[in-house]
Amino acid sequence: MLAEYIGESDAARVASTIYGINLLLTSVLVSVVWRFAVHDGLVRPDIADQEVKALTTRLTPSMAGYVVMILLGLFFPVLAVVGYLAIAVFIIVPLGALRRSRRHA
């Protein structure tokens, strides 16, 4: 839906908003499941506490980012889509680990 309507003004706003709401709801559900797993000790024991904390802290700002992008998408849908991509990269790419590996190299 997003790819089909991104060129049309009003339709792009609706598509961008629906896409953002889906991403936000998915992010909230992932965060809830992750926190439940951490709280109940369902995370593999060989994972370092630092990695668990890092993932937990990465999930929280992404939800706020989605809210901001949803609001931005009401006025600038293409910019919101770029923001959705940036949030995904922020969650997936472990920037802290990359910085630490460069220091030790």
Considering the entire predicted model, what is its pTM? 0.80
Helix 77-92 to helix 49-73 angle (10° resolution) is 180
Domain boundaries, the chain: 2-104
Concatenate the DSSP letters of all residues of 52-78 into one string: HHHHHHHHHHHHHHHHHHHHHHTT-HH
Higher pLDDT among residues 78 and 55, named by residue: 78
pLDDT tens-digit profile of 13-57? Answer: 999 999 999 999 999 999 999 999 999 999 988 888 888 888 888
pLDDT range class, residue 101, cuts 50, 70, 90? low
- Contact residues for 15 (Cβ-Cβ < 8 A; gap 6+): 1, 2, 4, 5, 6, 77
